[in-house]
Structure 1
């Protein structure tokens, strides 16, 4: 009799502890879209070429869904910091799902924002999110052209070139 009471207590405790960890009735795997290496390479090359045609030596980084670098391209005659800056711009754009210039404006409007102190975040124009529909699946960051608006224009040219592949 004592064994049955102990077994019943353990079974009740196990059921109550397991309930918060039970799977929902319709648990499913996530279905995510991600940038392929060929599309990321095309974006990087197009951004680089767009700036080079204007006489700007730049570095370009494309980050993926989780902000991880997919392609980094350091242009000839670029300053050493441009590769890191292109990564940080792209990461910022991906993280906040907005152009990095918009984030820079937010920081300017609210300089006490703690977000600017997060790792790999930079308040500088020159990166755009890469979207499929309304979902951000990556970002492209450009660094090296004078003024962030020129970097951003090269990033936009690159996204525009692959727009049909992002649908």
Structure 2
């Protein structure tokens, strides 16, 4: 057992107070409070995913779309008719990447190409590839949306952006 002077002093004061009947109060540090934040609702996540999927479908692309919350928890995952099997995993990983880095997964791709030593890419779900976008409200990243399955990351990202644009009113 490691000797801890602060613990010993606190116990000593506590024992002295028990013996003498003094009153000791404990208080939280100044400024201690609950953390408040906004979270992405299911209806907003569904609207984003549906709009992204429909935009891609209108372009003739068969894709999967993932929407995750602020802690990368999966909220909505859609697999379009005929989309490639890998598109489900890729869409989730791109959305995860956007939330983790708090930027477009395409920006992460550029960053990693410039500095392959980036240690975050060692995380299990990171995918530095274009197609994922963070969902921002007043500068706070509250989630991510990503698309996979179109013939190029720029097209995936355009579909993700279309989903965000369509649901913009829900994010206010």
- Equivalent residue for 2:85? 80
* Displacement over 6 Å in runs of 4+: none
Structure 1: which 5+ residue stretches go unaligned?
1-7, 15-20
Residues of 1 paired with 2:44 and 2:127: CA distance? 25
Report how many residues are paired.
154
- Equivalent residue for 1:3? none
Q: Give TM-score, length-normalised by structure 1.
A: 0.87
Residues of 1 paired with 2:143 and 2:110: CA distance? 21
Task: Report the CA distance between 1:13 and its aligned residue.
Answer: 6.9
Task: Report the CA distance between 1:58 and its aligned residue.
Answer: 0.2
Deviations 1:70-103 (Å, cap 9, x if unpaired)?
0000111111110010000000001100000000
Residues of 2 paired with 1:66 and 1:79: CA distance? 27
Q: Mean alpha-carbon deviation: is it higher for 157-166 or for 41-50?
A: 157-166
Q: Give TM-score, length-normalised by structure 2.
A: 0.84
Deviations 1:88-127 (Å, cap 9, x if unpaired)?
0000001100000000000011112222111100010001
Task: Report the CA distance between 1:28 and its aligned residue.
Answer: 1.4
Structure 2: which 5+ residue stretches go unaligned?
1-8, 16-25
- Equivalent residue for 1:158? 163
Residues of 2 paired with 1:102 and 1:71: CA distance? 23
